């Protein structure tokens, strides 16, 4: 059976107990802060905080390890690219230049400023990604739809999003079945085959996948219509949860965090924290 | 005077994309509280008739309507699909496809959510309805984890929350194992008696539906109502044979014995059937027909030895399964939904690797072979043809496997055309696949495997969703292949198929092999039937009730005789 990535993981934890709306808003606040700030103190705090929330949520690192690794690879590429294209970015930002290693007499010299800058970039990744993963795996799709609807998104769109999330595992399963049966007819998808041929072969898996998915879509849209979906301008949600004290407290906390970190970041008129 | 709830008057319907009407001149009245069965071969228009009742026709499937259809006193022309869905609740054929909610409770609540019912009332209502269908303990379960029968009950609950007057079931038995199907029919019966709703069942497996009484059976063929009678009258008439719907096996046996059926003999159910009138003929017939010949043993082609397999550590899906298949055999693998039958076929094809045990092909260990290597000898046909077809034209689809293997073009042409001839697809060789029916597509997928000349073919539910005519066509075709020396293994829920076409059956329950015997022995053994969710054949019961001393022999002779007659 295919590994079901990024789908909802049921646990009993305070993070799961929060309503979807709270989690969505907190996630938005979190991303805003992480995007705006380059202040190392704020980033470090956010990073440690996200590790703590992860612990509280009872989600194991193992369960999201695959996605995490995938993103780490990108992070590595990103870091290399920054160094290749802009090796003196840190110097420009912090205004000083401490050379650690002189390479080729100038442009590619390793400076403390550049290292510090790239450390900050990496830290940014590490604050946003665990939060995003956590949001995905601790939010029940139906409740998420209810939440989106509550903050003003049309319920049809909200439901479409929830359905899409729900069908990820289904499509993974179909893909696996089709791919196996096509391999049995001799279609080779392994590295032994030339890339051009592999791409062509991929088509013979994608086409049946699209056709059987279209069948499914027709069926589900009929089923939804037969049970009155789209009849009224509004709808109620079985899974909707009222705001509780814990939600209010969490939201307050996050808003305070937003204000404080923005204050710290922009206090000296610069997004960057300058230790030099 | 009974109150009519559904009235078709000179009703015709033509899909926009079709040149001829699918339903023609339907005149039909269904009364309040009635239980009506609609039968008809594939493509007869019976599903379209169902869609007219729930509003998919003409709101989703556009077309031209003439005549009138009145439901609950209102002409449907003036209604929309949402008001219709408040009157008619339809349980669609495939439960997986119609689940909308993630959990049982959400799915049941879906219609209520759309009606903007406040949450507290919704929760009460959902648990009330769940109680009716015995699903209350599973409200928080994910819809994916349910068994086939549970899924169907959730679907039923999902339409019952709407307080509909009419319940419409589209092929409720299609995806269920025999015992679960029996339970589903009993549940429908119980709900109808408790709530006095009008129930309409669309199904072609007549014998299974008649397990519980129905008031009337309406036969549809070619878009017309060709008969509208009580079950007793219908079974005594020749209508079923004429439009290729399978009669209950015991009815057929009685007819073979030369006994004239009349409605007074109450043939609709074996328990009510006045067998005394036919006893003598049955005995005479039993003495007269030939005893079928036993098969000769040949060499072993495929052998599984102590196979263990699990998807997740600690939860074995297959445990210690061993069996061997002889060359030229036709074997069925049967068992409950989720017993591990499909997993077993994946293990044989190499889609999954066993944790322990060995697989031998002609005494040669193939456990370590890749999918591609095994595919040269063992072909696999999946249940849903749409999951296999990747080309637009029939010829290209069948040729695909050969093209990939780099076979010279002249040889490809020769082999493809020869295969198309065997499969009865030669006249269509230049057609696009989209123009074919479901059964024909199934043949295309069989052809695309057959062209690779495997010695063993595994088919997953080869006849699912096929009416009797197509069922017979596909099975006779497979039998012909079998007689050409191809070994055939079938995974199936269909007890008729197992009995009629596969002399031997391997029964899987809970990941273990619990029986490996002749199909007749399996289907007459109460312990195996119970454990593997199978269903006893009515032939056996008929023989017992007729006082025939060797009921198993009776079943065997009937099968052999029946096949000869049908050919």
pLDDT of residue A2: 36
CATH code at B501?
3.40.50.300
Tokens encoding B287 = 């003495």
Rounded to 5 degrees, φ, ψ at B73 are: 80, -5
The reply to whether A179 falls in a domain is: no
**Residue B326 near residue A16, CB atoms below 8 Å:** no
The reply to whether B22 falls in a domain is: yes
Could you tell me if B388 and B467 lie in one domain?
Answer: yes
Could you tell me if B188 and B114 lie in one domain?
Answer: yes
SS3 of residue B221 by DSSP? strand
| All residues at 6 or more sequence positions from A274 whose CB lies less than 8 Å from its CB, including other chains | A94, A95
Could you tell me if B264 and B410 lie in one domain?
Answer: no
**Residue A52 near residue A79, CB atoms below 8 Å:** no
Q: Is A11 on the interface with B (CB under 8 A)?
A: no
pLDDT of residue A1: 34
Q: What confidence tens digit (pLDDT) does each residue in B109-141 have?
A: 999 999 999 999 999 999 999 998 889 999 988
Could you tell me if B455 and B556 lie in one domain?
Answer: no
Of B399, B434, B406, B392, nearest in space to B420 by CA: B399
Burial A207-221 (b: 16+ CB within 10 A, else e): bbbebbbeebeebbe
SS3 of residue B311 by DSSP? strand
Bridge partners of B507, per DSSP, are: B334, B515
Q: What confidence tens digit (pLDDT) does each residue in A215-240 have?
A: 888 888 888 988 889 888 888 988 88
Between B244 and B231, the higher pLDDT residue: B231
Task: Report the residue count for chain B.
Answer: 567
pLDDT band for A191, please (50, 70, 90 cuts).
Answer: low
Could you tell me if B221 and B109 lie in one domain?
Answer: yes
Record: contact A228-B97, CB cut-off 8 A: no
Give the global pTM. Answer: 0.83
SS3 of residue B397 by DSSP? helix
Domain count, chain B: 3
Could you tell me if B213 and B352 lie in one domain?
Answer: no
Could you tell me if B234 and B311 lie in one domain?
Answer: no
Distances (CA, A) of B164 to A90, B83, B293: 70, 10, 55
Size of interface A-B (CB pairs under 8 A): 155
The reply to whether B294 falls in a domain is: no
Domain containing residue A106: 12-140+241-276
Record: contact B380-A140, CB cut-off 8 A: no
Q: What confidence tens digit (pLDDT) does each residue in A16-57 have?
A: 888 888 888 899 999 999 888 888 888 999 999 988 998 888
| All residues at 6 or more sequence positions from B345 whose CB lies less than 8 Å from its CB, including other chains | B333, B380, B458, B460, B489, B491
Of B378, B377, B399, nearest in space to B389 by CA: B399
Measured between beta carbons, the chain B residues lying within 8 angstroms of A185 are 375, 400-401, 404, 448-449, 452
Q: CA-to-CA distance for A132 and B554, rounded, in angstroms?
A: 67
Measured between beta carbons, the chain A residues lying within 8 angstroms of B380 are 181, 184
Span B232-244, average pLDDT? 89
**Closest Cβ opposite residue B85 in set A188, A203, A227:** A227
Could you tell me if B487 and B383 lie in one domain?
Answer: yes
pLDDT of residue B509: 92
Which chain A residue is nearest to residue B392, measuring alpha carbons? Answer: A207
Record: contact A227-B115, CB cut-off 8 A: no
The reply to whether A162 falls in a domain is: no
Span B443-462, average pLDDT? 91
The reply to whether B199 falls in a domain is: yes
Cis bond leading into B58, ω under 30°? yes
Could you tell me if B158 and B59 lie in one domain?
Answer: yes
**Residue B438 near residue B444, CB atoms below 8 Å:** no
Domain count, chain A: 1
Give residues 88 to 107 of B whose Cβ lies within 8 Å of A.
90, 92, 94, 97-103, 105-106
Structure-derived torsion over alpha carbons of residues B71, B76, B81, B85, reported in degrees to the nearest 10: 0
Q: CA-to-CA distance for B7 and A103, rounded, in angstroms?
A: 90
Label residue B237 left, alpha or beta by phi (over 0 means left) and psi (-120 to 50 means alpha): beta
Q: CA-to-CA distance for A27 and A23, rounded, in angstroms?
A: 6
pLDDT of residue B1: 64
Record: contact B102-A140, CB cut-off 8 A: yes
Domain containing residue B512: 300-544
Could you tell me if B276 and B237 lie in one domain?
Answer: no
Could you tell me if B389 and B325 lie in one domain?
Answer: yes
pLDDT of residue A146: 86
Q: CA-to-CA distance for A116 and A113, rounded, in angstroms?
A: 5
ipTM of this predicted structure: 0.79
The reply to whether B293 falls in a domain is: no
Q: Is the pLDDT of residue B101 over 70?
A: yes
Instruction: Quote the crossing angle between the two packed helices A155-184 and B341-349, to the nearest 10°.
Output: 50
Could you tell me if B537 and B558 lie in one domain?
Answer: no
Record: contact B311-A141, CB cut-off 8 A: no
Tokens encoding A133 = 């993963």
**Residue B524 near residue B537, CB atoms below 8 Å:** yes
**Closest Cβ opposite residue A236 in set B102, B118, B372:** B118
Measured between beta carbons, the chain B residues lying within 8 angstroms of A236 are 112-113, 116-119, 122
**Residue A176 near residue B382, CB atoms below 8 Å:** no
The reply to whether A7 falls in a domain is: no
Q: Is the pLDDT of residue A3 over 50?
A: no
The reply to whether B295 falls in a domain is: no
Q: How many angstroms separate the most distant Cα atoms in chain B?
A: 75
Measured between beta carbons, the chain B residues lying within 8 angstroms of A235 are 113-116
């Amino acid at each position: 059976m295919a590994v079901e990535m990024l789908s909802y993981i049921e646990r009993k934890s305070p993070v799961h107990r929060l309503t979807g709306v709270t989690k969505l808003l907190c996630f938005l606040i979190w991303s805003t802060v992480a995007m705006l700030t380059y202040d190392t103190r704020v980033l470090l705090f956010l990073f440690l905080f996200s590790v703590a929330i992860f612990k509280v949520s009872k989600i194991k690192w193992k369960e999201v390890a695959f996605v995490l690794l995938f993103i780490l690879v990108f992070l590595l590429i990103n870091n290399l690219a920054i160094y290749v294209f802009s090796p003196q970015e840190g110097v420009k930002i912090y205004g000083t230049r401490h050379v650690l290693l002189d390479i080729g007499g100038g442009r590619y010299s390793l400076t403390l400023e550049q290292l510090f800058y790239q450390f900050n970039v990496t830290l940014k990744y590490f604050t946003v990604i665990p939060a995003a993963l956590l949001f995905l795996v601790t939010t029940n799709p139906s409740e998420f739809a209810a939440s989106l609807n509550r903050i003003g998104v049309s319920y049809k769109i909200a439901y479409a999003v929830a359905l899409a999330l729900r069908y990820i595992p289904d499509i993974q399963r179909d893909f696996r079945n089709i791919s196996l049966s096509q391999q049995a007819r001799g279609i080779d998808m392994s590295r032994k085959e030339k890339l051009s041929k592999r791409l062509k072969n991929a088509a013979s898996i994608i086409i049946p996948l699209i056709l059987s998915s279209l069948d499914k879509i027709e069926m589900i849209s009929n089923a939804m219509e037969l049970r009155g979906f789209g009849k009224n301008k509004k709808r109620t949600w079985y899974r909707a949860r009222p705001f509780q004290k814990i939600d209010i407290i969490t939201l307050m906390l996050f808003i305070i965090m937003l204000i404080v970190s923005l204050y710290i970041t922009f206090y000296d008129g610069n997004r960057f924290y300058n230790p030099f | 005077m009974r109150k009519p709830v559904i009235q078709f008057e000179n009703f015709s319907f033509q899909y926009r994309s079709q040149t001829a009407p699918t339903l023609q001149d339907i005149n039909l009245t269904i009364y309040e509280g009635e239980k009506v069965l609609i039968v008809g071969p594939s493509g007869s228009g019976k599903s379209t008739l169902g869609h007219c009742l729930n509003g998919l026709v003409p709101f989703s499937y556009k077309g031209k309507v003439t005549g009138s259809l009145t439901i609950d006193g209102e002409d449907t022309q003036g209604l929309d699909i949402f008001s219709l869905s408040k009157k008619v609740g339809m349980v669609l054929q495939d439960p997986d496809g119609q689940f909308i909610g993630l959990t049982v409770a959400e799915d049941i609540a879906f219609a209520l959510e759309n009606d903007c019912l406040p949450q507290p009332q919704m929760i009460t209502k959902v648990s009330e309805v769940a109680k009716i269908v015995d699903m209350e303990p599973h409200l928080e379960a994910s819809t994916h984890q349910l068994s086939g029968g549970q899924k169907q009950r959730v679907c039923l609950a999902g339409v019952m929350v709407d307080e509909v007057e009419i319940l419409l079931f589209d092929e409720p038995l299609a995806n269920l194992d025999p015992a679960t199907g029996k339970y589903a029919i009993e549940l429908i019966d119980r709900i109808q008696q408790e709530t006095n709703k009008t129930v309409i069942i669309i199904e072609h497996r007549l014998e299974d539906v008649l397990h519980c009484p129905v008031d009337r059976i309406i036969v549809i063929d070619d878009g017309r109502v060709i008969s509208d009678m009580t079950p007793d009258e219908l079974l005594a008439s020749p209508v079923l044979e004429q439009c290729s719907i399978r009669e209950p096996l015991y009815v057929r046996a009685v007819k073979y014995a030369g006994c004239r059926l009349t409605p007074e003999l109450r043939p609709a159910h074996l328990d009510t059937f006045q067998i005394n009138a036919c006893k003598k003929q049955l005995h005479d017939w039993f003495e007269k027909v030939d005893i079928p010949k036993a098969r000769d043993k040949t060499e072993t082609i495929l052998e599984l030895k102590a196979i263990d397999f699990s998807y997740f550590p600690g939860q074995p899906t297959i445990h210690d399964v061993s069996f061997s298949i002889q060359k030229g055999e036709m074997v069925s693998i049967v068992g409950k939904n989720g017993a591990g039958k499909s997993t077993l076929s994946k293990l044989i094809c190499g889609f999954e690797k066993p944790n322990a045990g060995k697989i031998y092909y002609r005494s040669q260990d193939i456990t370590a072979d890749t999918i591609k290597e095994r595919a040269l000898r063992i072909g696999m046909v999946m249940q849903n043809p749409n999951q296999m077809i990747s080309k637009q034209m029939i010829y290209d689809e069948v040729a695909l496997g050969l093209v990939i293997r780099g076979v010279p073009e002249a040889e490809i042409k020769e082999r493809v055309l020869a295969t198309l001839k065997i499969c009865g697809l030669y006249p269509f060789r230049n057609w696009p696949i989209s123009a074919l029916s479901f059964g024909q597509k199934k043949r295309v997928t069989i052809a695309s495997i057959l062209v690779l000349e495997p010695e063993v073919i595994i088919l997953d539910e080869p006849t699912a969703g096929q009416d009797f005519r197509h069922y017979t066509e596909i099975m006779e075709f497979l039998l012909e292949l079998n007689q050409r020396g191809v070994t055939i293994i079938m995974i199936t829920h269909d007890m008729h198929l197992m009995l009629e076409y596969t002399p031997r059956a391997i029964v899987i329950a809970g990941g273990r092999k619990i029986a490996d015997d002749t199909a007749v022995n399996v289907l007459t053994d109460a312990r195996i039937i119970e454990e593997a969710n199978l269903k006893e054949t009515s032939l056996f019961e008929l023989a017992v009730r007729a006082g025939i001393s060797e009921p198993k022999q009776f079943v065997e002779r009937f099968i052999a005789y029946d096949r000869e007659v049908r050919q």
